[in-house]
């Protein structure tokens, strides 16, 4: 999971022009001024990197970076494990 989180952090930081170290698992997306487009773009980049499609339902209710990447990673694990 660590590699997945690191990649997500780097992608989001690049999109928002931030230092990746400013983003931790407890960081609220709104505190980063990340809007839904930023989140969707991060998800699309992760989909490309992992050749998977993430569901969009329920993601809008996630508040922190950690909640978001955990939900995405759990879906990735389900897909990988059949």
Residues tagged active-site: 35
Helix axes 2-16, 36-50, angle to 10 degrees: 140
Q: Among candidates 40, 30, 34, which has minimal Cα distance to 17?
A: 34
CB 76 within 8 A of CB 50: yes
Helix (H, G, I), strand (E, B) or coil at 52: coil
């Amino acid at each position: 999971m660590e590699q997945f989180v690191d990649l997500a952090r780097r992608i989001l930081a690049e999109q928002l022009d931030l230092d990746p170290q400013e983003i931790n698992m407890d960081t609220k997306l709104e505190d980063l001024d990340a809007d839904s487009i930023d989140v969707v773009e991060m998800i699309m980049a992760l989909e490309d990197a992992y050749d998977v499609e993430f569901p969009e339902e329920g993601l809008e209710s996630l508040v922190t970076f950690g909640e978001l990447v955990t939900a995405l990673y759990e879906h990735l694990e389900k897909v990988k494990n059949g």
